[in-house]
């Protein structure tokens, strides 16, 4: 029987996941369809009951349901539980299991570009939902020194306290981080600052970076944020948010099918969709 997958969110029309996953199903000869499903907050519980009733094989979860969905699943992977958000659900013989592939996807995308990740001195910029998934997943991957800078330092403190894996973290406000940014091997920008249409904004100022510094921004619209442009002009190697998007999708696809897909193909597909 044809397998059924989807992505739930509100809004959902502009999700790039359906085209990306349908291309993969086609490429690997899997008889399956992946559809965008518009689910409002007030309908989430009913939607999940419906998915169980029809035996959906799996689905992705996006804004605004990533946390709320946890109330309606049968099991939650420990990392997703710690992060407090689920972006991928697997239907295992009628049991709905929630995972978070955002943070692990970010880490996987990063290790394609960077060797010896655990030895890097990391500065994480931001302390929101995306930062939480990345911080915990980087700690899970063995990163030992990872500082956080955020406008609201209390939020960074909460992140640090909640992390289930050992990691050495100091917390900075924006001004404090600007002063020591050249000490870091890896900068990870997780806020929405610089996202289209506010393309001239950047989360912090710097005029020097460590030699060999790598800068990553989870934003992919624009493909090069002001933060990445400035880091590049100071000699850093850079990575935009396409990798995180592609690798979270690749890990979801692997959870559903057992196949870790061709990420180069996925990246091409996403760039095509972005136009
Ligand atoms: P997400 O779930 O996408 O990560 P979020 O939870 O709203 O979004 O977090 C947004 C992050 O961007 C936070 O780190 C936020 O800083 P605060 O914790 O101080 O609010 C940061 N952020 C957003 N807009 C900002 C701005 N104009 N200046 C500084 N930081 C900003």
**112 vs 267: CA distance, rounded Å:** 13
What is the CA angle 30-94-60, rounded to 5?
Answer: 55
Backbone angles phi, psi at 111, to 5 degrees: -70, -15
Residues classed as catalytic: 66
Q: Cα separation of 100 and 66, whole Å?
A: 9
User: Can you tell me the distance from the alpha carbon of 262 to that of 150, in angstroms, rounded to the nearest whole number?
Assistant: 35
User: Does 26 contact ligand 1 (Cβ within 6 A)?
Assistant: no
The listed CATH number (3.20.20.80, 2.60.40.60, 3.40.50.720, 3.30.70.100) that belongs to domain 103-240? 3.40.50.720
Q: Confirm or deny that 16 is annotated as ligand binding.
A: yes
- Average pLDDT for the chain: 97
Closest CA to 165 of 253, 103, 211, 214: 103
Q: Is 272 helix (H, G, I), strand (E, B) or coil?
A: helix
Does the model's pTM come out above 0.80? yes
Ligand 1 in contact with 169 (CB < 6 A)? no
Residue 189 Cβ < 6 Å to ligand 1: no
HEC string for 126-163:
CCCHHHHHHHHHHHHCCCCEEEEECCCHHHHHHHHHHC
- The answer to whether 32 and 5 have CB atoms below 8 angstroms apart is yes
Residues 83-122: pLDDT tens digits?
999 999 999 999 999 999 999 999 999 999 999 999 999 9
CATH number attached to the domain at 3-100+243-274 = 3.40.50.10860
pLDDT digits (tens, 9 = 90+) for 217-269: 999 999 999 999 999 999 999 999 999 999 999 999 999 999 999 999 999 99
The protein residue whose alpha carbon is closest to atom 12 in ligand 1 is: 191
Closest ligand 1 atom to residue 131 Cα is 4
pLDDT of residue 113: 92
In degrees and rounded to multiples of 5, residue 73 shows phi and psi of: -100, 160
| Pocket probe mutation, ligand 1, options 130, 157, 191, 199, max atoms within 8 Å of Cβ | 191
> Ligand 1 pocket: which of 128, 149, 204, 221 to mutate (most atoms <8 Å of CB)?
128
Separation between Cα atoms, residue 30 and residue 184, nearest integer Å: 44
DSSP 8-state symbol, 188 = E
The two domains 3-100+243-274 and 103-240 share their CATH topology (first three levels equal): yes
- Structural domain spans, the chain: 3-100+243-274, 103-240
Quote ipTM for the complex: 0.96
Please indicate whether residue 151, judged by its CB atom, sits closer than 6 Å to ligand 1: yes
């Amino acid at each position: 029987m044809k397998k059924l997958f989807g992505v739930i969110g509100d809004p959902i029309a502009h999700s790039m996941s359906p085209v990306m996953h349908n291309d993969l199903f086609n490429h690997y000869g899997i008889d399956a369809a992946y559809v965008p499903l518009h689910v409002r907050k007030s309908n989430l519980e009913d939607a999940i009951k419906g998915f169980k009733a029809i035996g959906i094989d799996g689905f992705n979860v996006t804004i605004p349901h990533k946390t709320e969905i946890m109330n309606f699943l049968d099991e939650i992977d420990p990392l997703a539980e710690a992060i407090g958000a689920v972006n991928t659900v697997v239907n295992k013989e009628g049991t709905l299991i929630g995972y978070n592939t955002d943070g692990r996807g970010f880490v996987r995308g990063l290790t394609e570009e960077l060797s010896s990740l655990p030895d890097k001195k990391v500065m994480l910029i931001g302390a929101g939902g995306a930062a939480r998934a990345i911080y915990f997943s980087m700690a899970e991957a063995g990163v030992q020194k990872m500082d956080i800078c955020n406008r609201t330092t209390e939020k960074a403190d909460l992140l640090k306290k909640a992390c289930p894996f050992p990691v050495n973290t100091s917390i900075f406000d924006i001004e404090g981080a600007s002063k020591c940014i050249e000490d870091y091997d890896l900068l990870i920008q997780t806020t929405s600052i610089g996202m289209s249409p506010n393309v001239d904004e950047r989360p912090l100022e710097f005029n020097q970076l460590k030699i060999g510094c790598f800068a990553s921004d989870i934003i992919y619209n624009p493909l090069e944020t002001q933060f990445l442009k400035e880091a590049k002009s100071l000699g850093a190697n850079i990575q935009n948010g396409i990798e995180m998007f592609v690798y979270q999708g690749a890990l979801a696809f692997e959870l559903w099918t057992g196949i870790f897909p061709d990420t180069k193909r996925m990246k091409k597909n996403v760039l095509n969709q972005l136009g």
